[in-house]
Amino acid sequence: MKKGLGSALLVVAAMAVGACSNASEESKDTSVDTSTETTEAVAPGQRDEFVAITGVPGVTDEEISYAVIGTKTNNPLGTCILDCFTEGIEAYFAYRNSEGGVYGRDLVVADVIDDELTLNQQKSLEVASSSDYFGVFQATLFPAGWGLLNDDGIPTYTWGIHGADAANRKAIFPSMIIRCETCTRPAMPYIASRVGAKNAASLGYGISETSKVCTQTIAASFDLYESESGVANAYMNDNLAYGLPNGIGPEVTAMKAAGVDFIATCMDLNGMKTLAQELDRQGMGDVVLYHPNSYDQTFVAENAALFEGDLVTVGFRPFESTSDKGSKDEFLKWMEELGYQPNELAMVGWISATQVFDSLIAAGPEFNREKVISSFRAVKEYTAGGLLQPIDMSTAYIPYVSGSPDAAAETQCESFVVIVGGKFEFLDDASKPWYCWAPGADAEFEPELVDFD
């Protein structure tokens, strides 16, 4: 490997590094529950029971219809968002419909709507004003319409990169949870120590408050855990221009002078490419990069030499996991069945569609929007079919701050992969894809490897 592993918004997508678990304990138990016994997170209901329903938007005797809103036109990231997200939803719906659907009805994507980057509020209003849809999916870069969808009580299942816009909104169900953007955590210092780093840097964009806070929190985490990790906080810049239009030469020169050998960012994948190119130009190609948004097989394969040995965080059970738990294999099967390419946004769509199905099951055969929202919010340990770490849906939408009781009780779990030859591999046991840290100030710095049902 080029980068040593030792012995071992505009760009709102940059905020994924702030994702955290909300599986909490009532006491500061410093052990991690690694049990993989199956628990019914969602009540089984009577899936095949048909009950005639009238007056519920988007529901007929044959179908339950949903709209998908997302960014395609004017997408500044240049990545597949709306189309890939929709493919994951369609794959999951095809899977469940092949089994008979739910309550005698098929799950249907009735409309796919491009919000053109800046028209999310307008498109969301059009959906909210229509009686054609029971709920809505959202994969957008500017979630301006989420507030009105929530206020209208419309179940909304979203790409989970907008923590602030999901906060305190019961009808918004993100694909991953961001409850505390300012909480320091051991994950980043730990993974930096695993690759033999000594001096770390953190980088983010000034245009996005979320990216700025994310960058500051990473730097604070390195400070807090320096004695355990042996990795110093050597450089921090939270004011980079989005898109790096003037390059990143001076910043790389400053990091070189500081002896930086590990860089964690709150940036998009195109920014990571620009950074890697400049590092290589200045003779720093061996510096390990930590990517929050580069779990993109095609992108990484095309830039294999630049990213060799880099680390990538994954917000769900990685495709490379060898565990037979969860619905990952069903995802891959049905994506192939429909002729779609598996990728991160497709899996996000699959997770969101899983939430749709499970929220309907939780509500029961005489369902409506209000029942779906309230019943799903009552679920305590939700994993979207083993694709996520356990989530307490009753509190998942309520943010908290560093130093609060919730923060002290938080169990943190992360999944990492390393780039080798343009592909993703696990650092450790591929059958246990999550690294978990128990809550409490006295918890061990070394995580436990965990799998979830």
51-73 confidence digits (pLDDT tens): 999 999 999 999 999 999 999 99
pLDDT of residue 74: 95
User: Which positions ≥6 away from 265 have C-beta within 8 Å?
Assistant: 14, 17, 202, 203, 204, 215, 271, 272, 275, 289, 290, 291, 292
Give the DSSP letter of residue 158: E
CA distance 236 to 305: 26
pLDDT of residue 179: 75
- As a whole number, mean pLDDT of residues 385-403 equals 88
How do the domains of the chain map onto residue ranges? Answer: 12-24+181-315+404-450, 63-180+323-377
Judged by average pLDDT, the poorest of 150-164, 208-222, 292-306, 400-414 is 400-414
What burial letters (b/e) apply to 153-177, b meaning 16+ CB within 10 Å?
ebbbbbbbbbbebbeebbbbbbbbb
- As a whole number, mean pLDDT of residues 365-393 equals 94
77 falls in which pLDDT band (50, 70, 90)? confident
pLDDT of residue 88 exceeding 90: yes
pLDDT of residue 324: 85
Give 335 or 160, the one with higher predicted confidence: 335
pLDDT tens readout for residues 13-48: 433 433 444 443 333 343 444 443 333 456 666 888
pLDDT of residue 202: 97
CA distance 177 to 32: 19
Kindly state the tokens that stand for 72: 């395609």
pLDDT of residue 3: 60
CA distance 102 to 105: 5
- As a whole number, mean pLDDT of residues 419-427 equals 96
pLDDT of residue 31: 46
Give 192 or 18, the one with higher predicted confidence: 192
Which of 417, 365, 453, 420 minimizes the C-alpha distance to 194? 417
Give the DSSP letter of residue 442: T
Strand pairing of 423-425 and 311-314?
unpaired
- As a whole number, mean pLDDT of residues 191-209 equals 94
- Please compute, for residue 178, the number of CA atoms within 13 A of its CA located in the half-sphere on the CB side: 27
Of the candidate CATH numbers 1.10.10.10, 3.40.50.2300, 3.90.550.10, 1.10.1040.10, the domain formed by 63-180+323-377 belongs to 3.40.50.2300
Q: What is the pTM of this model?
A: 0.87
- Percentage of residues in the chain with pLDDT exceeding 90? 73
pLDDT of residue 176: 83
Kindly state the tokens that stand for 176: 């991953």
pLDDT of residue 164: 85
pLDDT of residue 14: 37
pLDDT of residue 408 exceeding 80: no
Residue 269: what are its φ and ψ, rounded to 5°?
A: -70, -30
- The verdict on domain 12-24+181-315+404-450 having CATH code 3.50.50.60 is no
Q: Fold match between 12-24+181-315+404-450 and 63-180+323-377?
A: yes
pLDDT of residue 446: 93
pLDDT of residue 192 exceeding 50: yes
pLDDT of residue 232: 98
Tally of CB atoms within 10 A around 224: 15
- Percentage of residues in the chain with pLDDT exceeding 70? 90
- Mean pLDDT across the chain, nearest whole number? 89
Give 210 or 248, the one with higher predicted confidence: 248
